[in-house]
Amino acid sequence: MSDLKTKANDLSVAAFLNSVENPTRKTDGKKLLQIFIEETGEPPIMWGPSIIGFGKYTYTYKSGKEMEWFPVGFSPRKQSLSLYIMRSYEELEPILGNLGKYSRGKGCIYIKNLSDINEQVLRELIHTSTKRK
């Protein structure tokens, strides 16, 4: 099995956000940075070249393989803002129902613009997701 390519690194979060070309994504990314710092109390860390994560924990796959990862994070992608919330959708469903306009993938919540969602609900989602069982 190959090593995980997305690892924590010393790249600059500010430089990454300043390099985002889409002005709305850049503005939303800077606002998300502030929200995530306030809700997690953790410093932002670049994971790979384009994900900003907060905190660290050891994730264990069903196979027993372990990897270091972050409980919550985000990335201002070209098509949408990707929110990484490392909890099951079942656990988060009561909160997600009030989030606003979003779609979801296997491990991400996608939003087009920060204005499409309820900021207080996002804060609750982040705060809840950083509590490890």
Q: Which pLDDT band holds residue 4 (cuts at 50, 70, 90)?
A: low
Residue 46 within a domain: yes
How many structural domains are present in the chain? Answer: 1
Q: What is the residue range of 46's domain?
A: 8-128
Mean pLDDT of the chain: 91
Dihedral over alpha carbons 79, 84, 87, 93 (to 10 degrees) = -40
Residue 3 within a domain: no
pTM: 0.90
Give the Å distances, CA to CA, from 25 to 39, 46, 52, 81, 113: 20, 17, 14, 7, 7
Residue 2 within a domain: no
Percent of the chain with pLDDT over 90: 70
pLDDT digit string, tens, across residues 36-90: 999 999 999 999 999 999 999 888 888 998 888 899 999 999 999 999 998 877 8
Q: Supply the CATH number for residue 82's domain.
A: 3.90.1150.200
